[in-house]
Each structure stands twice: as structure tokens, then as C-alpha cells.
Amino acid sequence: MAGVAGDRSGKGLDFTMHPSPSSSPVADPSAELWQSAVRVLDTNWSGDHTVPSRRLYPHQWSWDAAFIAVGLAYVNPTRAWRDLRSLFEAQWPDGRVPHIVFDPATAEDDYFPGPGFWNVPVYAGRPARRSTGLVQPPLHALAAWEVYRHAAAHGAACVSAARTELAWLYPRLVAQQEYLTERRDAGGTGLASIVHPWESGLDNSPAWDQALAAVPADHTLLARYQRRDLAVSDAAHRPTDEDYARYVGLVLSYRDSGYSDSELIERHPFVAECPAYNSILAVAELALAQIAGVLGRPADAGRHRDRAREITTALSRRLWDPASASFRVRDARTGRLSPAHCVSGLLPLMLPDLPAEQVQAIMADVRSERFRLPVPSVDRTSPAFDPHRYWRGPVWVNVNWLLRRGMLVHGFRGAAEELRRALLRLVHEHGHYEYFHPETGEGLGAPTFGWTAALCLDLLADRSAPAYSRT
């Protein structure tokens, strides 16, 4: 199903940031942090969508758009909906939502790999939106539900507009889910597979090391291209050239197959089942159930809840490692579980139907010296732990925000409040950085990062308890 193009000019729409709504944050009344978060989102607004950061990430990223919409719900719901629409206008006919939608106003060589590298086909019947052919975690249904949930704070007209936006997004969100649950179930296990570490959003996590070892690292590929990230970021904080050689090789493999998802295990060198990705996939079904209810589609709501339970059951059985009492990534090509103990294994806590013993094991991990709050991206005691290098150790606000939702789902309100305060303290003291040193709190990566700012607004407002808490 192709995304239907909208009016990208923004004419007649109010994109002006508004102050905090009447239900402004009271649990942690930091006006300074609230206003600084609003300034970051304002700075990163392109006129059509929000970029993660101006220099390092000058285009629109898929799951960034979802997290950013959650924060914009408080200060500018019109922008929140526009961000989601802008992304879904680039949806492919097969339902996939690309992980990057390229801004035509940005030069080709301002980001690598740029639109020319991806060579994405232009389909008849839809405008040519330059994008990648990969996907990212399908967090958008949850984001849409959150924006709708907060619409009442902005008045009756905002509620009416929100229902219109939900009606536009719903079939596109369903198409995204169907693409992932049908075309990407490479192993026939009931779980979606990813074909590139970038699809997880956890790019250089040690969770991929074992599977990536089988992917050739052709350094001659990098000789033909220039990494733009190293021009604006410390190389010690970014994925290595070895990583990038494999990343580029995987893109070429997938691109040269025409981005086909048939027989992935037989012909593509990297196919993995990720507990974080599939947890978000199930959460998306729960959010779609809420949206279907609002739109007067009770039968569809029931089907979404059933799918969420099915994904939860498959994840619980296939990605659980009894020996370590933790969730691990599984290489779909070899069947082997990754030995890496990472934040991806904590995010199944978001699932209300997760077995109680697995819930308790995750919380034991969170409270242990291996993680602690706010949790780092990798077990602190692991040999792979690197406190500076991207997803190999630093603290990220977005995955901690998801973990907090899981705590609320299962009634761990004390831990959820501890985590909320720890995240706000971290950002208040060090700034709206992309990620943070897990011991010192030093801000790392991009300094004015969109989802850090957006999720701070949600944490300050403290209204993120999901509607599907376990009862």
C-alpha cells in the first residue's frame, strides 16, 4: 500500500511551539529543562519534519520521528502529526516504512550513505520520496496513540484533528505491521527478522557481533566512500571502520537483490531476531488495538490484541535463554543465541502478557550491578562494554524510556519513578545529548538531540503510563 501524498507546504497549519499545556509538569517542575527541550525541538524543525540533529543527522529518521512525536504532543501536536505524516508519505507499496527519508534540500554528500547510494525504485502512482530500503522499530502506532491521548489538553478542535490523523494513519500502520509480520518472518517462527544492524536502531551493539562475524568486511568499499559522521563526531564514540565495511556490504547485498525479502536465510548474510524489535512490534499491535477502538473498529481491535499475544508467546519461547535467565538476539541463519547481554534483552518488559518469571528476571537484571538505573546499552561487567562507543555501553534516553513503560505495565512504580528522576537529572546536568557516559554522565554524540529533548517533555509531564497495563 503506497502512502498518500499530503500537502508538504504546511499552508494553513500552525507549526508554532506553544508553552506547556494547562496540565504542565508538576512532579518535577523544572521550567528550565522544559524550555531547553522545546528549544531543541524548535531548532531541529525543518519546516516539514524534525531532524534528530542538524549536523550529524540532517534527514528524517523513522523511530526518531516516533519518539519526537511523543514529546511534540505536549507543545505542538500539529508538528507531531506532520512528522508522522511526512514519514508515512514515503511508505513503500509493500508496507515497509524506510528508516531514513531524505530531505531534498540537503546535499547528497552531507550524509553517508546518501540517497544516490540506496538506488531505491520509484513506484508508479506515488511521488518519488528518496529513502533507504531498510526499516526501523515500528514505534509509530504507539507514538500516534500518545499524541491522540494528549489531544484533549489542547482543546476540542485538537481532539477532532487528532481523530482525522488517526484515521489517515491507521491503514498505513496496519500495512507496516503486515509487512513485518508476514514478509519479514524469515524463519517462520512468528517473529520479525532484521537484515541489517541499522534496522534495530541499536547499530553497533555487541548483540550483533556473533552474526556479523560471518559477514565479510571489505575495506575497499570504504575507500570508495567517505564517512561523514567522523567529520562532526569523535571517532572513538562511533562505530569502527570494520563495522562500517560490513554495514555497507550488507546494504549492497540487500540493494542488489532489489530489496527482496524472499529466501532471506538462504541468500542474505545477516538475518537476526531481536527481542527489542519484536517487543516493539507487539506493543505496536496493542497501540493499534487502542486506535481501532477510537475509530469504531472493535473486531480489528481484537485481532490486534491477539497478534500481540502471539508475538509475545513466540518471543518468550524463542529468544529466552534459560541458562542466563535473559532475552538474547538469535541468529536466524544459524539458530544460535548471541552471548551478548544488552539492553535489547530488557525491553520485553513492555509486554503485559510476558510470563511472570521472565518479568522478575528482567527486573533482577535491572537492579543488579550489570545494569543499574539508568541502564547502559550493554552489561557493565561485559568485556564488550565500552562507555564511550555508541550502543556498546553508553546510556540512551529512548531505551530507558521504553524500559520505564515496561515497569509501569507490570506495576513497578517505585522503580519507574527512580528511573524517571535519574533520566531527568542526567539531562538537566549534562544537556540534551544523543547518549551519555554511563559512569560520569558526560554527554556524548550530537549535543542537541531530538528524542532526548522530546522524551524529557514526556518524563517531566509524567503521564506515560500505558493504557494496556497488566491488571
Catalytic site residues? 203, 434
Yes or no: say if 169 and 288 are a contact pair by the CB < 8 Å rule: no
**Based on C-alpha coordinates, what's the Rg of the chain?**
20
Q: What is the DSSP string of 214-229?
A: TS---HHHHHHS--SG
Tell me which residue has cell 519526537: 68
Residue 222 burial by Cβ neighbours in a 10 Å radius (0-12, 13-18, 19+):
middle
C-alpha cell at 257: 537483490
As beta bridge partners, residue 320 has 327
Q: Can you give the length of the chain in residues?
A: 471
As beta bridge partners, residue 103 has none
As beta bridge partners, residue 131 has 101
CA 84, 88, 89, 90 torsion-angle sign = positive
Interatomic CA distance for residues 198 and 373, integer angstroms: 25
DSSP element (H, E) containing 320? strand 320-321
Within a 10 A sphere around the Cβ of 313, how many other Cβ atoms? 16
**Distances 332 to 26, 180, 246, 358 between C-alpha atoms, Å:** 47, 15, 18, 22
CA 72, 61, 55, 242 torsion-angle sign = positive
